[in-house]
Amino acid sequence: MLDIKLIRSDPERVKENIRKKFQDEKLVLVDEVLALDEAFRQSKGRGDELRRQRNNISKEIGKLMSQGKRDEAEDVKRQVAAIAQELEEMERREAEMTEEIRKRMLVIPNLIDDSVPIGKDDSENVEVERFGEPRVPDYEVPYHTDIMEKFHGIDLDSARRTSGNGFYYLMGDIARLHSAILSYARDFMIDKGFTYCVPPFMIRSEVVSGVMSFAEMENMMYKIEGEDLYLIGTSEHSMIGKFIDQILPEESLPRTLTSYSPCFRKEVGAHGIEERGVYRIHQFEKQEMIVVCKPEESMEWFHKLYRYTVELFRSMDIPVRTLECCSGDLADLKVKSIDVEAWSPRQQKYFEVGSCSNLGDAQARRLKIRIKGKDGNYFAHTLNNTVVAPPRMLIAFLENNLQEDGSVAIPEPLRMYMGGKERLE
């Protein structure tokens, strides 16, 4: 959510940002906010004047009563009552205007960084850098669920019977590999100085609306029937929510946390749920990282965070690339975002396995996350990044470590989490 002062002082800058995101239908919101804000401020001015009048007139009542001028005192009382009634009506309208302004402010997109490439959708995202040499083996690389099934490692049919499409049972060594990757990612981030956290897996609506846009919420979140609770789509939601309505001492920053959680997503949209695979599903597990920091440090942290993901994948011999999201592909709260994509030998192309985002002070404004500085309080900046999400990670891992004889090599960093195994037979 933007600062209302910015819209007042430079509405054209806000409109130009909307155009860069190809959301011209939202341009009218800026003018509506300005009109509502002007009406609100006029009402506040009128209200202040009425309160002064009421205070001055009220002082007359006692004087008139002491002088025995009861009828005149009653007239003044009626004037005071009329002013009170007008003030009550004005306060009701002001509350309505405040709500209408907030509704529009929540939909107006955050200002993107000047370095973000301009483009309409993800087809215009820009490759930044590649790490590792993509390899295409001489032998066939089967579809990832076919690899898992050879190890008796996945059961989609049973999951359909219990839960429907978009769910799975992981079994045996594949399930163990899934947990090993999460454990390795956890320790990897702890070694980087992050504090490990297991957060709540359900959050209230005020936190949901604080961490994401309405469009994202509608397409992602599952609501608990009859309660003000939502299942999290990623632990970033509850991790940022942890700081709601707090004033953080400047010297305590940055706050660097890495969290484990299951994630639940509707996955409504063009992509749909896969029936055979585990790339796009309703339920998965994930290791996440979040940072709450001073504004001047957020871009430095942004570049650190996505490079941690690159380092993790490269430590398991998986080639990756970074892809900068263009303006039209950025969610409304984001200032800048980079996806990390892993190489698929089977498809001979890269696919997304993680996303790193700098949200500036957008979430902090919504959730009232402030920093106590020497010269007063100011809003924090928040960032998040995927360390690893094993269902997609499993696809990259199995394809890149599959051997010609059908076994799967276990890179050295994972072996201690796999009971010392060097390969899956």
DSSP state of 163: T
- 3-class SS at 275? coil
Is residue 229 scored above 80 in pLDDT?
A: yes
- For 102-157, how does the pLDDT look when each residue is reduced to its tens digit (9 = 90+)? 999 999 999 999 999 999 999 999 999 999 999 999 999 999 999 999 999 999 99
Asked if 33 and 4 touch (Cβ cutoff 8 Å), the reply is: yes
Mean pLDDT of the region 225-253: 96
Asked if 157 and 180 count as a contact pair (C-beta separation under 8 A), the reply is no
Sorting pLDDT into bands at 50, 70 and 90, what band is 275? Answer: low
Structure tokens at 317: 């011999």
Check whether the bond before 254 is cis (ω within 30° of 0).
Answer: yes
Instruction: Choose among 383, 400, 296, 387: nearest CA to 348.
Output: 400
Q: Which neighbouring-strand residues pair with 221?
A: none
Delimiting residues of CATH 3.30.930.10 domain(s) in the chain: 122-424
CB 186 within 8 A of CB 287: yes
Partners of 351 in the β-ladder: 342
Contact 385, 155 (CB under 8 A): no
**How open is the CA angle 78-79-85, to the nearest 5 degrees?**
85
The string of pLDDT tens digits covering residues 309-341 is: 999 999 999 999 999 999 999 999 999 999 999
Average predicted confidence (pLDDT) for the chain? 92
- Ranges of CATH 1.10.287.40 domains, the chain: 4-107
- What's the whole-number mean pLDDT along residues 376-395? 95
Please report the pLDDT score of residue 74 as a whole number: 75
Inform me whether the pLDDT recorded for 213 exceeds 90. Answer: no
Q: What percent of the chain is predicted at pLDDT more than 70?
A: 97
Average pLDDT over residues 299-308: 98
SS3 92: helix
CATH for 4-107, options being 3.20.20.80, 3.40.50.720, 1.10.287.40, 1.20.1070.10: 1.10.287.40
Torsion sign (Cα): 264, 270, 272, 277: negative
SS3 content of the chain, % helix, strand, coil (to 5): 50, 20, 30
Question: What mean pLDDT is predicted for residues 154-171?
Answer: 94
Mean pLDDT, rounded, for 210-214: 83
Nearby residues of 185 by Cβ (< 8 Å), 6 or more positions away = 287, 312, 387, 388
CATH architecture of 122-424: 2-Layer Sandwich (3.30)
